[in-house]
Structure 1
């Protein structure tokens, strides 16, 4: 494989080879003097001789210690599907052996040395990065979310939103709870918590109609006067042998902020899991960025595991972060290795802490919008804490027609990049939109739980030029509405005194509560297709306990999310009630995800307890 030299240090402030050689010679002389019992010569005596000796030393590239061969990773889960992989990945030994040195004031380079001609071993072009002094201040960034309010059907009978299959919010919230911290409200996106779990929806028989639709109605656990409507979509699952050839570009952040064990070391191990799923017809490229960007691995056949793994193992962290330059270069590499009719995707792995180059979110989104129309999508994998930019990662994936996940453990990497590989990589439908029209004779109010940043205007539903969410092979999507039935007396919004909706002038004989519409595009198509289905009052269960296991578990997840966000709709329904609901709805849990969720509920309940010496704050338990 031909490799190319590249310069990604700007400005060039790396330690020169003569300087390193001088330090090494001086240290060796000192050690020899100590070992023999002789005093080292004075500077006046040694200076001329040392200079001649240094000039006589042939210059060699700075090398890291010989990389260790990749070790097999134990992927067999323990009890409950959670094992040692849940611990943060250990930092590479090469990081532990790094000499202590002060950060270079103006360096913006990363760990790849300036190169001028093709070389054999990648290790020859990796320089030891300067120590990174991370900020102790928590600089995590989350987009502001205003909780969906109650809508009066007489005024707004139609609700429209784009689907969302991201799961990053759930694993990020899990990371915080495990660290003994309740998450900030804006870190909690209830739809992503719902969509983290599988609900065993019926699977479609073929890809021609790529979804099955499931609806269910049952009393809400936090207020039995109200009704929960669950809408479930299940995507068609593609066998691994039928997956199209993949052209993947790993875009890896190797800036100084990525030095900790839960960032670059975990990132490298995670991407190694993905590369092990690749075949001869697949292509892998590796692009890195810090102060500038460069190509570490050009498009390489997926079965050349040794070369790909070796390239990943050499990565070290150092420098500032110019993410925009890396994104531009990654799309160029994806275009170079483009597979017609295949999966062409950039996988951006970073903490999202862009601090040089284009750092404005809207500018980055515009950059990606210009590229997505060429058939190259973008998946974002978030890593780390303290400076994690969740707002950037989630929105870039949305604009790039991809999905977003947050990797807090190697077990999560296995879930996203191995168990759900088809869902992560292969899109079976794009611009998927849901619209529900409520019958004002049967439903007086409704509230969509979650999807705050996915709402669409009513007219956007039939407009095929309006971008919406994508669904991958085997993905499932769950949405919950809280309904207030007409005549229940539980309305939250007072009726108008002088205006009466004309629809309500005459009674209705229809048993329909609502009408569900779904629009989507098959891959490569420009015109959307339409699915429609009525929702009848006869579907309403007499109690939540008589509803399906999936309905009860989804209600528990939604209730948990509402509590974490501090929403005003849960009443006396606290963490204790959530835990009881989960305990009775765990069902088949082969990977232990529902059991893990129950533990998180207990953790949140403990963290929400007011201190015994503090006044009672009224926190729901």
Structure 2
């Protein structure tokens, strides 16, 4: 520490005299410093670029704050847009989560209009779409969120400059090369990373009318209800009926029905399945499906006996406790040179609803095929009906084919459907050119109701019955969907001594009007009825497969005034009973307590009979019926199903398929694979491919969900 004496001494020391040279240097340095300060002051007052650091920061902040309302959304949008696109892609790939509490979402495909087929299809069928559980959906959502975050980080992070093969920075021209835009996939998507997005197979590979299409249709719509397109009303009409019940032979041993050679049901089922949905149960008439196919049953030797019957008994493939009793009828096949002259009236619906490709245009093509099949001496007339009825072509011989074809080609649709007036006009023309001992037939082609005139089916029935007595018969051909009145078609065809067929393609038109023309046009027997009496000593129970709409009372069999079905030239008719042999253990009905005492075995001669088959018929120009009888014994039986004839086994496969489509209890446990197995083994000769087509229908039905 310095004391006071030392400080005093230092104050008293004399300062040395200044050096002149050092003084000059100091003054020069001071002046230079002053000049530099002057320059800085001037620049600060007048230079825009000479701002101080704090002033620069303040100005930059003001500019940012003034433009932040524009800059912030722009930056956020650049970041969010790829994220949103990526998330949307993931959502499109996954089905929506199931609503809590719902096990299934069901959609009736047949209630759709012809979005996958013709307008408004009648048969209503169901396709189930099973959605994923909520827990799984939540997990997938979390995975999607994680992937979205990863994608966001990749987009926000600074991109690493590309490197050359040597590991250094790539050249600037390589960075500036423009890469081609990624090609969109079949679904129109492009992946976020620039590569083609994976194709959603369910959407990109959709084919209308297939099982894949139906499953897609079953997915719930993502559109609000007010934005969905309205569906066209389905106005197809079919007759409701219940499946034939099981009967106890002891209580009710007799079964009576009219034969049925119509094929409309099979064609309708065929179209439904090809369009991707199961047919409505009431459109499936099993006997019409069986009788759609030609069979090589043994026919009669002469026209005096118009048909021959063949009866066989075999094990039931879907029930080990029962047997099938198979009754087959084959009509006499009239040779083309012996066919009588034909007088045909084409009664054609040209109402506004016929203005669809599978209606009037197809009808015109179909009738052109028929005209080409007729002989030069045959007669054709054409009557049309819409708002009213009119004659387009007076009776004209087929020798003037060009005139007939021209009249067909010039038909135009328009107006309502005055069917009653058309039928009356058609019968009038048929009578005008009536051919004695020939074929006199009205051929009605329509898509639906008669909405002008007598529209009640019973009134139409009475009208047709009255005209039938004059010797003019009537056949009906249905076209299109959405307005088809199948119930009306069946009613007037049955009462007009004709057939009902449904034509949905030109190939079907060729089958009905060309290949089966002889059966369609030339009747060899009318009012054909079948009655079967079962022996209670041999049969406990029985049920008739099909023919529900053709049932007759027991007393109707011998009543010649009761109308029944007709058989055309070469027609095949098949009826199948499922019977339960006595003591087999397959009985479904409890026996009567007091019934056994009434059993009469009919004597030793009849003890071995399963049943007694009786067939009544009239020749086309006669009013008194004739009777054919056939006992069914063990001699008609085969031990195994495989020992039955090829045609018998194929017809049984068709019967099983029809019952399966109707969801009947008898075939509930009999799979489509078994039907395929039987039909494939029994396909036999198939010159027109009908049986191969049947196999494809079985596969379609199986893919579409099987039983309802």
Q: Shorter-chain TM-score: which interval? A: 0.7 to 0.9
Instruction: Kindly indicate whether the alpha-carbon contact (under 8 Å) linking 2:250 and 2:595 is maintained by their aligned counterparts in 1.
Output: no
Q: Does 1:594 align with 2:691?
A: yes
Q: Give, in whole Å, the separation in 2 of the partners of 1:607 and 1:263.
A: 27
2:332 is aligned with 1:263: no
Quote the offset at 1:135 in angstroms. 8.3
Distance verdict in 2 for CA 1:438–1:317, change over 3 Å = same
Is there any run of 5+ residues in structure 2 with no aligned partner, and where?
Answer: 1-116, 119-229
Q: Determine if contact 1:441/1:507 at 8 Å carries over to the other structure.
A: no
Work out whether 1:574 is the aligned partner of 2:671: yes
Task: Map Cα deviations across residues 320-365 of structure 1 (whole Å, 9 max, x no partner).
Answer: 1111111111111111111111100000000123222221111111
Of residues 318, 336, 346 in structure 1, which corresponds to 2:442?
346
Offset of residue 370 of structure 1: 1.1
Superposition deviation, residue 216 in structure 1: 1.0
Structure 1 position 541, deviation (Å): 1.5
Partner of 1:95: none
Q: For residue 681 of structure 2, what is the aligned residue in structure 1?
A: 584
Q: Is 1:329 the equivalent of 2:409?
A: no
The answer for the alignment partner of 1:114 in structure 2 is none
**Structure 2 partner of 1:468:** 564
SS in 1 for 2:373: coil
Structure with greater helix share of residues: 2
Q: For each residue in 1:416-437, what CA deviation from the matched residue of structure 2 results, as whole angstroms up to 9, or x when unmatched?
A: 1111111101110011111111
Q: CA deviation at 1:279?
A: 2.0
Are the aligned partners of 1:257 and 1:353 in contact in 2 as well (CA < 8 Å)?
no
- In the alignment, the residues of structure 1 paired with residue 601 and residue 329 of structure 2 have an alpha-carbon distance, to the nearest angstrom, of 35
- Do residues 362 (structure 1) and 458 (structure 2) align? yes
Query: Where do 1:148-547 residues align within 5 Å?
Result: 148-503=244-599, 510-547=607-644
Q: Secondary structure at the match of 2:695?
A: helix
User: Matched residues in 1 for 2:431 and 2:581: separation?
Assistant: 53
Paired residue secondary structure (1:303) = helix
Q: How far apart, in 1, do the equivalents of 2:594 and 2:436 lie?
A: 61
Match of 1:556 in 2: 653
CA drift of 1:496 comes to 2.0
State the 1:166 CA deviation: 0.6
Structure 1 pair 501–578 and aligned structure 2 pair: CA distance change class (3 A):
farther
Aligned equivalents of 1:254 and 1:524: distance in 2? 34
How far off is 1:508 after superposition? 5.6
Q: Give the CA deviation at 1:507.
A: 8.6
Residues 314 and 455 of structure 1: is their aligned pair in 2 closer, same or farther, counting only changes over 3 Å?
Answer: same
Q: Secondary structure at the match of 1:217?
A: strand
Cα drift, residue 538 of structure 1: 3.1
- Hey, what's the Cα distance between the residues in 2 that align with 1:512 and 1:457? 24
Question: Once the 2 structures are TM-superposed, how far is the Cα of residue 574 of structure 1 from its aligned partner?
Answer: 1.8
Q: CA RMSD in A?
A: 1.8
Q: How does 1:90-105 map to 2 (within 5 A)?
A: none
CA offset digits 1:160-185 (Å, max 9, x no partner): 11111111110111011111111111
- Greater CA radius of gyration, 1 or 2? 2
SS of match in other structure, 2:347? strand
1:506 positional shift: 9.4
Separation of aligned partners in 1, 2:602 and 2:502: 52
CA distance in 1: counterparts of 2:265 and 2:427, whole angstroms:
26
CA distance in 2, matches of 1:498, 1:236: 47
Give TM-score scaled by structure 2 length. Answer: 0.66
**When the two structures are superposed, what TM-score results if normalisation uses the length of structure 1?**
0.76
Structure 1 position 212, deviation (Å) = 1.2
Q: Indicate conservation of the 8 Å contact 1:429/1:521, yes or no.
A: yes
TM alignment of 1:86-165, pairs within 5 A:
136-165=232-261
Secondary structure at 1:512's aligned position in 2? coil
> Which secondary structure state, in structure 2, belongs to the residue aligned with residue 191 of structure 1?
helix
Q: Distance in 2 between matches of 1:329 and 1:506?
A: 56
